[in-house]
Chain A
Amino acid sequence: MADATDAGWGYLANAPGFVRTSGPAVLTSRFAFEDSYTLERSLATGGYEGLRAALRRTPAEVHEEVRQASLLGRGGAGFPAGVKWGFCPDGVWPRYLVVNGDESEPGTYKDRLLMERDPHQLIEGCLIACYAIGLSQCFLYVRGEMALAQERIAAALNEAYAADLVGAGVLGTDLSVDIVLHWGAGAYIVGEETALIESLEGNRGMPRLKPPYFPAAIGLYGRPTIVNNVETLANLPWIMEHGAEAYRGFGSEASPGTRLFSLSGHVRRPGVYEVEQGVTTFRDLIYGDDFCQGIRDGHELKMFIPGGGSAPWFFNEHLDLPLEARPVGAAGSMLGSGAIVVMDETTDAVKACLRLVRFFANESCGKCTPCREGTSWEEKILQRIYDGHGRPSDIDLLLDVGDNISPGPYPAASFEAEGLEAVPFPPLQTTICPLGPSAVAPIVSAIRRFRHEFEAKITRGDGIPVRAEVSA
């Protein structure tokens, strides 16, 4: 097994799991330094130059530059940041910035790396966003479990305040922004942007009813609020320093720039890679020498999740798709949070499906019935199939319950009969947020492709007892 401490594998000692490739380093340029998280290192390596460049221009020009860069959101939905910023209604003040650092989509490890290793880059990105559209206070919402990220950001903010980089009169200009570290307490659903805002208001983290579709209209305390992902904002310093055109020189026309992908599971060299979007394919990532170097020895690919636990599964025939939202969406899945989970032929499809569904059932906030009841029934049915107590009608029942959460036709990963364009993604939903439908993704993926594995468990008829409880 690859070992993070083994230099031969190419992992950076100070950024655990990160592997430097021969490609551009927009987001990770400081990762090789042991003290990459300090202000001293940041300033010695061009830190806050992007902010200075922004401050030399008008806010409207900065906003336009970000629009020109076509910076797509890295939190999951891939919405262009510059366009989203434009949704703030005129004449309603104050406006807030909430940074989504709640990273908890199964398979995803990249925002934590950015927060732990280069908090100043993120802070600089926040300041640029605030300057561009007049956001007067920023809340950096870090996932509760990430103690090291919280302390690195707290230390970085303390340094930045002391150096006149944050707070009243940034670098002697009119820009005055308080950036406040906020931290959660363990709930996946809080990553959904309206739940994030509820949580920040001191409430249970339950998503709000839509519309409004964007908190840019009505957000924190009912005021216009921009919610952006950590990685999205971390791109801004580079864009301001080098310009949108240079940024568009990386990646493809539709997906410019680089993106952090986390590759986990049964590959030879799992890790986090900074990748040019659009021009790189799944095959490059999974098999390329610069990246994962193939499936672990002696095994072959069975399936992979292309965009975090919520994404429908992909198979061999999808390997040559580029890492770009449209073709991946047309093929029935999504790039989501940039998390690719690779599974070889030893993986039990029912088990993998059960584990993912259990996650969504655990994390359902309970606000709407199809998700609250549906996900836990899906889990129970899958569990009994897995334990050998399944009934022949259970497979249809799984699909039926799924249909009540996201009425079909559900995007069929590789359901050849239907033709790729025939299936809509994202799915229709009967729920308030996409968490419910996310639980249906692994079920439909697994049943469509591996129905025989479900059937084998059901007809086996040798029900093993459910995991024994500890006796008192």
Chain B
Amino acid sequence: MAFFSSPNERLAREIIDRYPRPRSALIPLLHLAQEQEGWVTREAMVQIADLTGSTPAEVLGTGSFYEMFKFHPVGRYMVNVCTNISCLLLGGEELLEHVESTLGVRSGGTTDDGLFTVEEAECVAACTEAPCFMVNYRYFHRATAETFDAVVADLRSGRSPLVRGNAGDRGTMPPHGSLGRVRQRIPADRRAGIVPPEQVDGPPAWLPRPEEVGSDG
């Protein structure tokens, strides 16, 4: 039984097509699997192995190195609270404690209703906007306990909390697993040509041929 839905399988092939070697698509495909299911299942890894010419063990081997991939079900909303140095200085730990006590789970845990998973995070590149947290990898800058409470209330009642983020982000908040809401699409007639490295044996067209000039370094 294939794991990917048929539109996602088409998408997976389109992604693979953008790389000189299929294996390079492994991480994007793990993301796609997580987008479909909320986490990375065994069936997903088997099919990704098949699509990228690797083994399921290799897929797990790569995937398990990266923190964002979850190999067990997690909440619909992933809450990451940064406690690294800049956030620590301005209350990151207190914010994490507030999040943990409000939701009743420690870092790593998921609420009983399956809505929220909490994680203590390393620096997420919002240091001047400390303290900060993310929900499904969307930013909430200069956050307070009240910001977090309002975000939770929004999510519980189906509203998008992004306007509260102070991070220039707007629109909807997709469930855990989805990242960018826009996908790259390369129209077939606009492709420069992506081929395995072995099939390239000379400089690209816009460089002067070696016989015309000495060398360009």
Do A and B originate from a single complex?
Answer: yes
| Chain A interface (Cβ < 8 Å from any Cβ of B) | 1, 3-5, 14-17, 58-60, 63, 86, 88, 90-91, 93-94, 103-109, 111-112, 116-117, 131, 133-134, 136-137, 143-148, 150-151, 153-155, 157-158, 161-162, 164, 166-168, 173-178, 180-188, 199-205, 221-223, 262-266, 270-272, 305, 309, 339, 341, 343, 347, 351-352, 355-356, 359, 362-363, 365, 469-470
Per CB-CB distance, the 9 closest pairs between chain A and chain B, nearest first, are A151-B180, A185-B66, A186-B67, A202-B26, A150-B180, A176-B192, A264-B86, A202-B23, A167-B190
What are 29 sample pairs from A and B whose C-beta atoms fall under 8 A apart? A1-B142, A16-B129, A16-B167, A17-B128, A60-B208, A86-B217, A91-B210, A93-B202, A107-B127, A109-B127, A109-B129, A116-B168, A144-B137, A145-B137, A148-B139, A148-B167, A148-B168, A148-B169, A158-B185, A180-B186, A184-B27, A184-B66, A199-B27, A200-B24, A263-B128, A265-B130, A309-B123, A355-B83, A355-B88
Contacts of B184 in A (CB 8 A): 153-154, 157-158, 180-181
Q: Which of A4, A15, A94 contacts B204 (CB 8 A)?
A: A94
Does chain A have a CB within 8 A of B122?
Answer: yes
Contact B186 A205 (CB under 8 A): no
Give per-residue flags for B181-214: 1 if the beta carbon is below 8 A from chain A beta carbons, else 0: 1111111011111100100111111111010010
| Chain B interface (Cβ < 8 Å from any Cβ of A) | 18-21, 23-28, 30-31, 52, 54, 61-63, 65-69, 80, 83-86, 88-90, 106, 109, 122-130, 134, 136-139, 141-142, 166-169, 179-187, 189-194, 197, 200-208, 210, 213, 215-217
In the complex with contacts A4-B129, A106-B123, A359-B123, A180-B206 CB distance below 8 A? no
Q: Which of B80, B125, B200 contacts A143 (CB 8 A)?
A: B125
Contact A264 B127 (CB under 8 A): yes
Extra contacts besides A174-B204, A184-B27 (4): CB < 8 Å: A17-B129, A153-B184, A180-B194, A351-B88
Contact A134 B207 (CB under 8 A): yes
A363 to B65, CA, bound (A): 10
Contacts of B215 in A (CB 8 A): 90
* A113 to B, closest residue via Cβ: B125
Contact B179 A147 (CB under 8 A): yes
